Structure 1
């Protein structure tokens, strides 16, 4: 069979934009290596990838209907309350994928945190940076459950490195395990470029509603008191790009990968969530950051605290943040630079079997 017909299903979870954006370098690598990616997701994750790869086929998967609590403390209960919907979506995914394997002649699957997108018939890879799923007192059970699902995949790719210094800490590292883990190195769609600094501050928002909107409203007020030029990317994917300027602040609803790459490289520092995809981008571009973790999201809170403790980046809780806090950024050294090339050829050998 010709290599040109090797179709690989790439299926990121629709939870904020992070899972979709970190699949961009994977989709590019598949194309460079002679595979044909087929993209499957739902909601804004799917919209973003359709904008990025208009020439590729896209398919719709059922939504996990992950809703965020208005109050961060209720986040876990909201997830538990919604878990029947999620389990339902996972079962539907399994059925749909079974059908697609025949229909689209799939040679392999790469699932970014979609638990039902796998098959025993073709090589299936799971991508996650959370081998441990932090959930407060229930961490042990959420982690065991997640690992139970990961075991069903042929391989689990962790976008980090195994030794220290690394970016995920206890999220992406287990003391002992029976999983087939590959530490592939951080995934970023962006490249470092030596561009002159145009902005003193870049604000980039992401993550699910309603918390994204709450932070946008708060930061719009705060950036008015900032003494410098600001580029503010809201992270709202809409059909048309909108650009508005108010005094020293330029607002964008969303940007393409190329525009975001330029904006990052042209900014002196970044104010953002401590979502893992953003963390990988910052590390690759060598940018200093200030983090505001999504309230109630244990993983983002853990990462923000870990970077602060390691002297790499400061953070504040959403309710406590004030623009003056940004002066602390210069006291921190920035995230560790992990010089690890991803060996795509080696990784993709998995899909070579007939």
Structure 2
């Protein structure tokens, strides 16, 4: 660990890979601005960031043990059932963070949806694209509860635009708020490059089990009769990268950020979940997409429906998807181009306030 008085703890939630991937540009910008990021998470989110930044100090946090139901309809019930474990993990990470503040002489904390990663002693930022947490009939209470926790942080950064058009709609915008909100513009670790098209279709699977495996198996079967060249990223983070070519489909278990950037730029269209991190990546790279939201995940279902309604991207439910659906992509205008740049220097002033 190099000596530095500019240590910033960056702690994404381990829920799929989206929270970790959108922290990658933040970590890069912290380094550019003279800070030393320290990574803190658990499970595959921690593994991903350790692969991206092998030279950075990292800390394992308690797991929230978020599990998906096999049947999407039971998703909310499964979360409620697991909530005691989650609350316990939040208490544990709070205690751990107290020690980390002293051990690493932290100057700030950036928590992506980890409710216990904050401190009253130093500026603590909460990153979320969900000020409103959709949960069906319980949306009002889940949103108020979430906002209550956000209030405990110094600032809340929303990776979207405040004005219309924006990417999050009612998820990331509330009318009256006593929260200290900053709209920082969409976050993506990827850059648009003009590369020759190699693949007609890129398939990117992500998200927690068992839904990730269920979608993988379904799409492998559905793509048997697809004629174009396909690159298929399974989203399985393993110790070694594996590549397998079967007829016109090239399979990878996972890819690094640079490899994903190249592959998306080389692909005509992308089939993936409607998770917000994927949405930001596709908007940045100006790629047309087809979405399959994770069953029972209200936020992904809301985004998929919103984009379809606005003529931006088509979607299908996981159990209704057919390969012919991909022909609909041409009828939609695609995600809006992102012009605004994040003003990192301005945002990071918070950590130099002492």
Shared fold per TM-score greater than 0.5: yes
For residues 247 and 108 of structure 1, what CA distance do their matches in structure 2 show?
50
Match of 1:199 in 2: 199
Match of 1:240 in 2: 240
For residues 120 and 104 of structure 2, what CA distance do their matches in structure 1 show?
16
1:288 is aligned to 2:288: yes
Alignment of 1:167-206 (within 5 A): 167-206=167-206
For residues 340 and 253 of structure 2, what CA distance do their matches in structure 1 show?
33
Match of 1:120 in 2: 120
Q: What is the CA-CA distance between 1:225 and the residue it aligns to?
A: 1.5
Match of 1:343 in 2: 343
Alignment of 1:13-32 (within 5 A): 13-32=13-32
Match of 1:157 in 2: 157
SS state of the match for residue 30, structure 1? helix
With the length of structure 2 as denominator, give the TM-score of the two structures. Answer: 0.99
For residues 176 and 321 of structure 2, what CA distance do their matches in structure 1 show?
38
Match of 1:309 in 2: 309
For residues 224 and 331 of structure 2, what CA distance do their matches in structure 1 show?
23
Match of 2:7 in 1: 7
Runs ≥4 residues deviating over 2 A: none
Match of 2:93 in 1: 93
For residues 10 and 195 of structure 2, what CA distance do their matches in structure 1 show?
33
For residues 11 and 326 of structure 1, what CA distance do their matches in structure 2 show?
36
Q: What is the CA-CA distance between 1:11 and the residue it aligns to?
A: 0.1
SS state of the match for residue 306, structure 1? helix
Offset from partner CA, 1:49-71 (integer Å, 9 cap, x none): 00000000000000000000000
Q: What is the CA-CA distance between 1:4 and the residue it aligns to?
A: 4.5
For residues 137 and 311 of structure 2, what CA distance do their matches in structure 1 show?
27
1:65 is aligned to 2:65: yes
For residues 322 and 198 of structure 2, what CA distance do their matches in structure 1 show?
23
Q: What is the CA-CA distance between 1:176 and the residue it aligns to?
A: 1.0
Residue pair 1:166, 1:338 contacting (<8 A) in 2 also: no
Offset from partner CA, 1:100-140 (integer Å, 9 cap, x none): 10011100000000000001110000000000000000000
Match of 2:229 in 1: 229
Q: What is the CA-CA distance between 1:286 and the residue it aligns to?
A: 0.3
Match of 2:147 in 1: 147
Match of 1:256 in 2: 256
Q: What is the CA-CA distance between 1:224 and the residue it aligns to?
A: 1.4
SS state of the match for residue 106, structure 1? coil
For residues 121 and 296 of structure 2, what CA distance do their matches in structure 1 show?
38
Unaligned runs of 5+ in 2: none
Match of 2:109 in 1: 109
Q: What is the CA-CA distance between 1:338 and the residue it aligns to?
A: 2.4
SS state of the match for residue 271, structure 2? strand
Match of 2:56 in 1: 56
Residue pair 1:4, 1:34 contacting (<8 A) in 2 also: no
For residues 346 and 56 of structure 1, what CA distance do their matches in structure 2 show?
24
1:318 is aligned to 2:318: yes
Q: What is the CA-CA distance between 1:206 and the residue it aligns to?
A: 0.4
